[in-house]
Amino acid sequence: MKVNFTTPHGETVEAEAAAGDILLGVAQAAGMPLEGTCEGQMACSTCHVIVAKEWFEKLAEASEEEEDMLDLAAGACRTSRLSCQIVLTEDLDGLTVTIPHEAHDMRRG
Applying CB under 6 A, which residues contact ligand FES? 24, 36-47, 69, 82, 84
Q: What distance in Å separates the CA atoms of residue 11 and residue 22, rounded to the nearest whole number?
A: 22
- Smallest distance from the beta carbon of 32 to ligand FES, in angstroms? 13
CA 77, 42, 65, 83: dihedral to nearest 10 degrees? Answer: 40
- Smallest distance from the beta carbon of 43 to ligand FES, in angstroms? 6
> What's phi and psi for 28, nearest 5 deg?
-65, -40
Q: Is the dihedral of CA 32, 73, 94, 7 positive or negative?
A: negative
Considering the complex, state which of residue 80 and residue 96 has its C-beta at the smaller distance from ligand FES. 80
Considering the complex, state which of residue 85 and residue 96 has its C-beta at the smaller distance from ligand FES. 85
Are 75 and 106 in contact, with CB atoms under 8 Å apart? no
- Smallest distance from the beta carbon of 42 to ligand FES, in angstroms? 5
- Smallest distance from the beta carbon of 63 to ligand FES, in angstroms? 11
Considering the complex, state which of residue 49 and residue 92 has its C-beta at the smaller distance from ligand FES. 49
Considering the complex, state which of residue 1 and residue 38 has its C-beta at the smaller distance from ligand FES. 38
Could you say which DSSP state residue 16 is in?
Answer: E
